[in-house]
Amino acid sequence: MKVINRYLALLFILNVSLLTQINIMGSYPLQVGNVFVFLKSNYNSSPPSNDSSYLRCIITNDTVISSKRYFRFNIFPLSNPNVLLRFDSLSGRLLDYDTTLNCSNYIHERLFDSVWAAISNVVRYCNNYKNYCRDTTPVILFGQSNYSRNLHWSVSGPMGFVAYDGRIYAKGFGLIFQETGSRSISGTQFTRYSLKGCLINGQLYGDTVNYLVGLIQTNSIIPNQFKLYSNYPNPFNPITHIPFDIPERTFVLLEIYNVTGQKIETLFNGNLDAGSYEFKWKAVTNCSGIYFYRLTTKEFMQTQKAILIK
């Protein structure tokens, strides 16, 4: 009888522990219309380079596949464009849909992460990589203390080589930080994503300036050519979107000129990876009139016309 009582007590403790994990981290904020804006930073010590841009991840729609509900992101850090994600509310696992995969326990799915992982838990992925939860210390996010999960993996090689990946999740916000990189005796390189602002269930959090204006990457598919598109809306007052394509990593200059040819503003001046981008220009202090925006790279230059009507 004492053995049975101890066994039942152990089961009770384990169930309470599991419920605590569930209550602490909650669900992943998957809802159509939610937006997550990340600051993407690239760093390389050799050859030296350091640049950044904004990545706006939008949940565009949802769909049901095999009785499971997935949410489509236009783009997501270190994922394929139009990735389909779902959150398993029984296990706390975040999974993406992939018809090319047939992992054990998953059919056409890939384990993205285990958001409910407890300290020292090991998360095993289909490709044999293993993450472990190394920290659950609360983080300060948008001015408030929040529960978090820090998942990390690394592999070592000769000559001091280390490759690593780290992700941090926060209650109510999902992924808030990711860094993937490597370091060795020859140098260090990494790509880092930091959540700067988001729109969740109609509530705006964080850096509203960079949410409303600034450069964002809309698609990571490599375009075939340089192209500067017509802004929209046009005419506009006072905000308009300026989309453009970059087929290779290069230096990019985006400038605004008035009708007399005088440069009045530089919107962007730096290096960009290949992809599709959009700059949301907020012409609050500009007068009504015709403006020209010009995209310049080492191999390309194109100009388009925008009309501001106040």
* pLDDT (tens digit per residue) in 42-59: 999 988 888 888 888 888
Encode burial over 149-180: b for 16+ CB neighbours within 10 A, e otherwise. Answer: bbbebeeeeeeeeeeebbbbbbbbbbbbbbbb
- Tokens of residue 37, six digits: 């804006």
pTM (global) more than 0.85: no
Residue 230 pLDDT more than 80?
A: yes
Domains of the chain, each with CATH number or no CATH: 2-212 (no CATH), 219-308 (2.60.40.1930)
pLDDT tens digits, 136-162: 889 999 988 999 999 998 888 888 899
Distance from CA of residue 285 to its chain's centroid?
Answer: 31
The vertex-177 CA angle with 174 and 178, nearest 5°, equals 115
pLDDT of residue 128: 66
